[in-house]
Amino acid sequence: MNIIQCNDSKEVALISYRIFKEQLIKKPNSTLGLATGSTPILLYNELIKGSQLNEISFKKVNIFNLDEYVGLNSEHKNSYAFFMKEYLLNFIEIEDNHFHIPNGTACDLIEECHRYNNLLSSTKIDLQLLGLGENGHIGFNEPNTSFDSTTHLVELTENTRKNNSIYFKSINDIPTHAITMGISNIINATKILLLAIGENKAEAVYNLINGPIDVKFPGSILRNHPDVTIILDKEAATLINKVK
C-alpha cells in the first residue's frame, strides 16, 4: 500500500488529479469507478479544470459510481446521481450512456442490483476512487459486509445516516437503504485510490492501515489488494504518525 501524506486537502486533490491524468493519458477509454461525499469534491474541481484545459478528456471514458440512495431519483438534490451532475458531469464532455449508477427508484431493487452487477461484470474498472466512512465503510459496505459481496441492497447504519445528515433537512429525510457495489466489485479494480480528509477520519485511517483485516472494518480488505494508494491530509494522518 502506497501512503501519501499531504499538507492539506488542496494538495490531496492535486496529487489525486495527477494519478487520474496519468491514467487517462495512458488509456483514454478508461473505466473509472467514482465516489460521492465531501472528500472527492476538490478532486472533481481539478478534473473539470483539467478537461477544460484539454489536459484530459472524458470523451471515451466510462464511469461507474459506487452507490445510490434508495428512494431518491436523479433529479433529487440529495441523490448521488444529482451530486455527480452537479460536481462533475455537467462540466465535462462525456457520452450520456457512459455514466452508470444504480437506480435507487427501480421498482424491483433486487433486480436493479443484478442489472448493475452484470454491467460491472462486463467491464473492468481501471481506477477506483474511494472515500472512507468513519466506521470503515467503503461505498456503502457497512461493517460485517462479506468481502465476497457483489452489488447489493444495504440498510444504512445510524452512524452513517447521522454523518450524512448534514446534506439533508432533517435526519428523517435520509434514506434508510442504499444500493452499493459490493466489496468484491471494488477489489476487482486494477488500481484503487482512497482519499481521506479531516481529523474525523484519523481513527478509520489508523484502523485501515494497522488494524486486523476483518469484515468488522470493510476498508481493511484493501491491504490485500496489489495496487492501492492512500492519500491523506495532515489531520487524517494524525494517528498513524503518533504510532511511528
Note the residues at the interface with ligand GLP (CB under 6 A): 35-39, 66-67, 131, 133, 139-140, 160, 164
In the bound state with ligand GLP, the residue whose beta carbon lies nearer, of 193 and 240, is 193
Q: Is 68 a catalytic residue?
A: no
Catalytic residue chosen out of the listed positions 62, 103, 135, 141: 135
Q: Is 135 a catalytic residue?
A: yes
In the bound state with ligand GLP, the residue whose beta carbon lies nearer, of 48 and 156, is 156
In the bound state with ligand GLP, the residue whose beta carbon lies nearer, of 50 and 139, is 139
Of all residues in this chain, which one has the CB nearest to ligand GLP in the complex? 131
Catalytic residue chosen out of the listed positions 62, 65, 67, 163: 67
Give the DSSP letter string of the chain. Answer: -EEEE-SSHHHHHHHHHHHHHHHHHH-TT-EEEE--SSTTHHHHHHHHHHHHTTSS--TT-EEEESEEETT--TTSTTSHHHHHHHHTGGGS---GGGEE---TT-SSHHHHHHHHHHHHHTS--SEEEE---TTS-BTTB-TT--TT--SEEEEPPHHHHHHGGGGSSSGGGS-SEEEE--HHHHHTSSEEEEEE-SGGGHHHHHHHHHS---TTSGGGGGGGSSSEEEEE-TTTTHHHHHH-
In the bound state with ligand GLP, the residue whose beta carbon lies nearer, of 24 and 196, is 196
Q: Is 137 a catalytic residue?
A: yes
Shortest Cβ 187–ligand GLP spacing (Å): 15
Contact 189, 222 (CB under 8 A): no
In the bound state with ligand GLP, the residue whose beta carbon lies nearer, of 36 and 151, is 36
Shortest Cβ 159–ligand GLP spacing (Å): 10
Q: Is 90 a catalytic residue?
A: no
Q: Which residues are catalytic?
A: 67, 135, 137, 142
